[in-house]
């Protein structure tokens, strides 16, 4: 099946059209990103709101919570979880690679037909609804 022939995001990955396990839509993803970044911003206030501290804290939030809770606090609050493309636990290395690319920003704003950013494609992960 070619990408253009797919009827909905995630179909070629074997994911359902909607409901639990379907591709997390952009609105939820952006809201979760703002929540996680906002938390990093508030915590960085203890360090004088240094931009490098904000990014470092944001990265730590992602790297710590993704393998332990299957998503960042923002992901979980907005009803999403991160999993490997074939399903299952993401492990420890995937969240690290995904976060490093997410901090660079550009991979996160380039999406494929399945609404996966380059950071997810490189890490072999997919953000799905819970």
Domain that holds residue 122: 20-129
In a domain, 100, yes or no: yes
51 in a domain, yes or no? yes
- The Cα angle at residue 20 between residues 18 and 26, in degrees rounded to 5: 60
Q: Is residue 9 part of a domain?
A: no
Answer whether residue 34 is part of any domain.
yes
Residue-wise pLDDT for 9-65, tens only, equals 999 999 999 999 999 999 999 999 999 999 999 999 988 889 999 999 999 999 999
Per-residue pLDDT tens for 33-49? 999 999 999 999 988 88
Three-class secondary structure of residue 120 per DSSP? helix
Cβ atoms of 90 and 70 within 8 Å: the answer is: yes
**Residue 49 is assigned to a structural domain of this protein:** yes
32-to-13, 15, 59, 74, 106 alpha-carbon distances in Å: 23, 21, 14, 4, 17
Number of domains in the chain: 1
Rounded to the nearest angstrom, the gap between the alpha carbon of residue 47 and the centroid of all alpha carbons in its chain is: 26
């Amino acid at each position: 099946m070619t990408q253009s022939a797919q009827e909905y995001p995630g179909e070629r990955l074997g994911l359902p059209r909607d409901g639990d396990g379907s591709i997390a839509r952009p609105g939820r993803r952006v809201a979760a990103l703002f929540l996680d970044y906002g938390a990093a911003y508030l915590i960085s206030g203890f360090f004088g709101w240094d931009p490098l501290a904000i990014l470092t804290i944001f990265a730590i939030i992602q790297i710590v919570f993704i393998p332990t809770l299957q998503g960042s606090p923002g992901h979980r609050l907005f009803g999403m979880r991160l999993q490997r493309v074939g399903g299952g636990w993401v492990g420890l290395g995937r969240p690290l690679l995904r976060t490093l690319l997410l901090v660079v920003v550009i991979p996160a704003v380039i999406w494929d037909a399945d609404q996966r950013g380059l950071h997810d494609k490189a890490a072999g992960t997919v953000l799905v609804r819970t």
